[in-house]
Structure 1
Amino acid sequence: MGSAKNKITFFDLDHTLLPIDSDYAWGEFTQAIGWTDPVEFKRRNDAFFEHYKAGTLDVHDYVRFAVEAIRIRSEAEYREAHARFMREVIRPVVLPAALNLIRRHRAAGDTVAVITATNELVTRPIADALEIEELIAVELERDGAGWITGEISGVPSLGAGKVVRATHWLAQRGTDWLDVETTFYSDSMNDLPLLEQVDHPVATNPDPRLRTLALERGWRVLDLFAKPQ
């Protein structure tokens, strides 16, 4: 008999492990601290969010927009602001249900990773707060001084790009899809390519389209943040 396959569990982040969209919330936070024009930024942020939900987002345009408030400031200013964002916005919504789910997979011997369409500057501290070391996020191009340019580096982890990035992540560890047993938790139809790729797709707090599809295909549906009746 062959040995059991190593188990990998991928988690989407926004509306999956968190009950909010961290990218959108960061945008609102930059408004609140005076980094962006409250009227114009909100108008564009809302428009991009609608495109995301509809699956029509131009991720390159969005990332340029979303990181501009960081790009024009120093790394020290970003770190100070993000620490406050973590205290005031993120940590209050990191719920026991999410932490317990992650810990159950880790206790079962799974390697766990967050895979998200939100950029690395917003999400690295969040993954740390969730006690997840492995993060596959939108990576940002750096200039000669080591600070972000506003452009994406490599393949963005959005839609089919999540499959590309996860495949590369596996390859970096000397393995591939055939050699591992994979699970993916996601709320969004945007993540259908990766949900179809893994062995165990879990529609988690799913949007209406994904809930319908999951029920049709017999996928597990998990309402992680549902209150007990």
Structure 2
Amino acid sequence: MSLAIFDLDNTLIADDSDFLWGQFLVDRGIVDKDRYETANAKFYDDYKQGCLDIVDFLGFSLAPLAAHDPEQLYRWRDEFVETLIKPITLTAAHALVEQHRAAGDTLLVITATNRFVTEPIVKLYGIDNLLATTPEFKDGRYTGKFIDTPCFQAGKVKQLQDWLSSSVLNLDGSCFYSDSHNDLPLLNLVEKPVAVDPDDKLRVAAQQAGWPIISLR
């Protein structure tokens, strides 16, 4: 039994759930359109360029969670998943997950997008194990802060190593599927890195390293 690790955004789904959640908040009038939409686009561009300040971004993206009652947030999230996420799940991604499940592999999603947004998305694929940036929840509300290490770039490696230290699993035979050059630290760690519909920087790195390049689109 090996560990099969999947990135989420633009890997198992055909867009970025973090960015889409921000746009959902804008479209529903939950946040200020001009200020939030511009900042959301700028942070997403920084991510794609590999220069995202993750702490600044989390301060921005988690603030709406602190501004609203959790029950209202969950209702919005249900609508978000139903209207924006389900249409961009990928048949080939479901098939790939099921292939690993049938082989007896342990399935894990590891994503920089926070757990509030991603937990119900991962459940659409029937995957129980999720490592993600975790919003702080205290006294019955989200605080707008995060706990532990942000699950981004080298932080993904840190979170995975911490998770493995408390389990009987290891990286023998492990694979990791990702679209982003931001995941190179983890791709370089596993035994079987796979580039999935990769961005330009990851495509070049995968070609140079001789890694498989696949499409789930």
Q: TM-score, normalised by structure 2?
A: 0.97
Shift of 1:146: 3.4
1:3 matched to which residue of 2?
none
> For 2:115 and 2:10, how far apart are their aligned partners in 1?
17
Equivalent in the alignment of 2:185: 193
**Greater Rg by CA:** 1
Deviation, structure 1 residue 59: 1.1
Match of 1:150 in 2: 144
Of the candidates 205, 211, 219, which is equivalent to residue 197 of structure 2? 205
Provide the rounded CA distance (Å) in 1 between the counterparts of 2:209 and 2:54.
29
Hey, which bits of structure 1, 4+ residues long, moved more than 2 A? 174-177
Contact 2:110 2:130 in 1 (8 A): yes
Aligned to 1:19: 14
C-alpha displacement of 1:63: 1.2
TM-score, structure 1 length as denominator? 0.92
State the identity as a percent: 39
Aligned residue pairs total: 217
- The residue type equivalent to 2:201 in the other structure is R
Following TM superposition, by how much is the alpha carbon of 1:76 offset from its aligned partner in structure 2, in angstroms? 0.4
Match of 1:218 in 2: 210
User: What are the within-5 Å matches in structure 2 for residues 155-170 of structure 1?
Assistant: 155-170=149-164
Report the CA distance between 1:70 and its aligned residue: 2.0
Equivalence map 1:16-55=2 (5 Å): 16-55=11-50
Q: Compute the RMSD of aligned alpha carbons.
A: 1.0
**Which amino acid is the alignment partner of residue 198 of structure 1?**
V
Query: What is the aligned partner in structure 2 of residue 135 from structure 1?
Result: 130
SS at match of 1:118: coil
**Are 2:176 and 1:184 aligned?**
yes
Q: CA deviation at 1:174?
A: 3.1
Decide which of 65, 70, 74 is 2:65's aligned counterpart. 70
Task: Summarize deviations over 1:165-209 as a string: whole Å, max 9, x none.
Answer: 1111111213443xx321000001100000000000000110011
Q: SS at 1:57's partner residue?
A: coil
